[in-house]
């Protein structure tokens, strides 16, 4: 029961007691004052009806009747023929209490109903707004991917167009190189020319590989096996750079559904970055683990140069590279591959302390220990 309820009851009690006290104490011969007091009783009755509805109004009118009745009986003598008007007043008290109470109760119920429908309306409006916002975002995404796909097509055509002249430039540079001895400045320039055309060619090749629609060939893949293949593939390079390459398998088999070739490409991009960033005597560690929510994690930790906070924001941008002969496409391709396998990728790095790349991928569901 709240505070206002108590205060209202107190006000009503004060009204009834006050009116009754004055009423009983007023001598009988000042009849007009009695008439006033008699009518003043309507105040608490109407208030009770407004505040507490039908029951409140009736209860108050009954209390007023009970308080007022002794006054008729004992002070006015209680003769019906003489005091009919006063008995009528009692009937009116109860009628007014009941009718006002009923009306105010209806009014209150209607207010509650209106508030409820307002709330329902507000909820539906909120849902509608959320829905239309979602539609707008989806439309924007669609428009963006449409634009990207046409841009991708143009870019692929452009890349093809670039590849042929690149071949000619490289070929003629090789021929020109034969005319000069090593140590000749022109020999060095032609070397630069060849190196740069090679780099451009790599960019174009990787780019074409990225935009080329490939038939998807999703199959169960043993992550451990794929990683072993990668380690074998780069162990020569790692040895030359005097970097220790460690593969730390998880105790249980980690099977995912993936396109083997793409997965290997993603792993290779990360391992190559790690090897390129690590100085001789450093270490690159690859580990797999099962995280328990149906996902596995593959971590690639290197003790290399690390990435500055500014660069960390840009490493996924296509063509962003800090290497002289880098293409800047490795990580953007890798992330695309990971996301196409419904996985996520995060990179933690502190400059001078090394870098850790963590790929999280959904595992193939196992039913009763059997791979589904
Ligand atoms: N393991 C790493 N350690 C330090 N820097 C890294 C590492 N991996 C990526 N990076 C940074 O991210 C950039 C982008 O990498 P990537 O997309 O593979 O392109 P690229 O290797 O051709 O430069 C690199 O140039 C390098 O600055
Ligand atoms: Mg790279």
pLDDT band at 367 (very low <50, low <70, confident <90, very high): very low
pTM of the model: 0.57
| Domain covering 219-371, topology | Heat Shock Protein 90 (3.30.565)
Tell me how long the chain is.
372
366 has pLDDT over 60: no
Q: What is the pLDDT of residues 268-280, one digit of tens each?
A: 999 999 999 999 9
Measure 274 CA to ligand 2 centroid, in angstroms.
9
What contacts 155, CB < 8 A, 6 or more positions away? 207, 211
Atom of ligand 1 nearest to the CA of 332: 17
| Ligand 1 atom at minimum distance from 331 CA | 17
**Ligand 2 ion: nearby residues, β-carbon < 5 Å:** 273, 330
Ligand 1 contacts (CB < 6 A) are 269, 273-274, 277, 302, 304-305, 307, 311, 315, 320-323, 326-332, 355
Q: What is the mean pLDDT of the chain?
A: 89
Q: How confident is the model at residue 79 (pLDDT cuts 50, 70, 90)?
A: low
Structure token digits, residue 344:
């996520």
Phi, psi of 236 (to 5 degrees): -60, -50
Going from the Cα of 315 to the center of ligand 1, the distance in angstroms, rounded, reads 6
Expressed in angstroms and rounded, the spacing between residue 233 Cα and the centre of ligand 1 is 19
Confidence of residue 148 (pLDDT cuts 50, 70, 90): low
For the chain, how long is the longest CA-to-CA vector? 144
Digit-coded pLDDT (tens) for 107-121: 999 999 999 999 999
Angle at which helix 3-25 crosses helix 42-70, to 10 degrees, equals 50
Q: How many Å lie between the centroid of ligand 1 and the Cα of residue 157?
A: 27
- What are φ and ψ of residue 20, in 5° steps? -65, -45
* Distance, CA of 210 to CA of 155 (rounded, Å): 11
pLDDT over 90 (residue 261): no
CA 302 to ligand 1: nearest atom: 1
Ligand 1: which atom is nearest the Cα of residue 306? 4
For position 7, what pLDDT does the model report? 93
Q: What ligand is nearest to the CA atom of residue 202?
A: 1
As beta bridge partners, residue 357 has 300, 347
Question: Which tens digit of pLDDT belongs to each residue from 214-255?
Answer: 667 889 999 999 999 999 989 999 999 999 999 998 888 999
Nearest Cα residue to atom 7 of ligand 1 = 273
273 CA → ligand 1 middle, Å: 5
Phi/psi for 280 (5° steps) reads -55, 140
Element (H, E) at 164: helix 80-177
Q: Which protein residue has the closest C-alpha to ligand 1 atom 18?
A: 330
- Residue 210 three-state SS: helix
> How high is the pLDDT of residue 155?
78
| Distance from the alpha carbon of residue 270 to the mean position of ligand 2, in angstroms | 7
Q: Where are the domains of the chain?
A: 3-123, 145-211, 219-371
């Amino acid at each position: 029961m709240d505070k206002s309820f108590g205060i209202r009851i107190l006000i009503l009690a004060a009204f009834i007691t006050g009116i009754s006290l004055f009423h009983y104490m007023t001598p009988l011969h000042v009849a007009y004052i009695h008439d006033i007091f008699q009518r003043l009783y309507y105040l608490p009755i109407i208030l009770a009806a407004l505040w507490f509805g039908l029951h409140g109004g009736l209860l108050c009118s009954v209390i007023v009747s009970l308080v007022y009745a002794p006054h008729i009986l004992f002070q006015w003598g209680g003769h019906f023929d003489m005091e009919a008007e006063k008995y009528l007043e009692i009937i009116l008290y109860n009628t007014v209490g009941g009718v006002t109470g009923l009306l105010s109760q209806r009014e209150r119920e209607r207010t509650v109903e209106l508030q409820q429908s307002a709330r329902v309306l507000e909820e539906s409006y909120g849902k509608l707004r959320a829905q239309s916002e979602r539609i707008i975002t989806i439309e924007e995404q669609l428009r963006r991917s449409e634009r990207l796909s046409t841009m991708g097509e143009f870019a692929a055509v452009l890349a093809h167009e670039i590849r042929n002249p690149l071949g000619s430039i490289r070929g003629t540079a090789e021929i020109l190189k034969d005319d000069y001895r090593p140590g000749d400045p022109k020999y060095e320039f032609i070397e630069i020319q060849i190196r740069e055309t090679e780099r451009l060619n790599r960019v174009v090749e990787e780019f074409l590989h990225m935009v080329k629609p490939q038939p998807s060939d999703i199959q169960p893949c043993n992550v451990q096996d794929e990683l072993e293949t990668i380690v074998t593939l780069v162990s020569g390079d790692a040895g030359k750079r005097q970097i220790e390459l460690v593969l730390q398998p998880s105790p249980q088999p980690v099977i995912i559904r993936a396109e083997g070739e793409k997965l290997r490409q993603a792993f290779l991009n990360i391992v190559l970055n790690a090897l390129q960033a690590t100085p001789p005597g450093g270490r690159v560690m690859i580990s797999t683990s099962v995280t328990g929510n149906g996902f596995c994690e593959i971590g690639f930790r290197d003790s290399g140069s690390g990435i500055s906070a500014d660069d960390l924001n840009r490493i996924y941008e296509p063509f962003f590279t800090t290497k002289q002969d880098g293409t800047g496409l490795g990580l953007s391709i890798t992330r695309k591959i990971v996301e196409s396998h419904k996985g996520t990728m995060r990179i933690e790095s502190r400059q001078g302390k090394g870098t850790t790349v963590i790929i999280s991928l959904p595992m193939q569901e196992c039913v009763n220990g059997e791979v589904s």
